[in-house]
Structure 1
């Protein structure tokens, strides 16, 4: 299987992941559950790779997924320059304990 379903229908899952990727790019770190973070990490690294490519087609692909022009602008202007020398591995997952309500493992997903 190529991805986790996260207990959501397809449209809800895509919207949630797109919003989380946008949050990681704009805030440079988020706190979430471990399984969600692993999925968001894949997509965030993919978006940063698009930002490094920098052409019009890559920008349109990023906009099709993220749909927030300000975040995409930051991706293509600031983050593309920041990671121009780095060959992948743009995000890091740090364990942050367990959620109080249900005991889910929490992590901090941040840009390196």
Structure 2
């Protein structure tokens, strides 16, 4: 029985699975975005988010702990230097999974997993979006715009009357 065994084994033995997740975590840290299957992305998300949380506390112990998972000095250095600096105030949720459809060869569900604070396109879109609130009824906008529209019309009528005299 599988009682309380929650992580996906990905059809691999434990050593192969650890190597796969370590390599994918290194690629994600270096490139900030990778394309993979949805199952691997979900497993990677569970693997890499605690490492990013550890990287927010820059101590020798946390560096050694993260290095034991990543097995790469350059990836560990980049995680503590660049990534931890950007996600310092974020309380969690450092990665985003965007589904991209199915793969042609075997119809596997594909996706892109990326670090949230490194997607410049989405950050620019969020900043440029106005903060106006929208409601389904739309009654408030019509009520506010109606008197404003009548006021210039009344002024124009008065100016036309004065020209006629």
**Fold match, TM over 0.5?**
yes
Q: Which runs of 5+ in 1 are unaligned?
A: none
Separation in 1, partners of 2:75, 2:104:
31
| Normalised TM-score (structure 2) | 0.67
Partner of 1:16: 20
Tell me which protein shows more strand as a share of its residues.
1
Deviant stretches of 4+, over 6 Å: none
| Partner deviation per Cα, 1:56-100 (whole Å, 9 max, x = no partner) | 111001111101111100100111110010000000000011111
Corresponding residue to 2:70 among 48, 66, 72: 66
Q: Which runs of 5+ in 2 are unaligned?
A: 117-165
Query: RMSD between aligned alpha carbons?
Result: 0.7
> Alignment length, in residue pairs?
112
Partner of 1:33: 37
Is 1:95 aligned with 2:99? Answer: yes
Partner of 2:61: 57
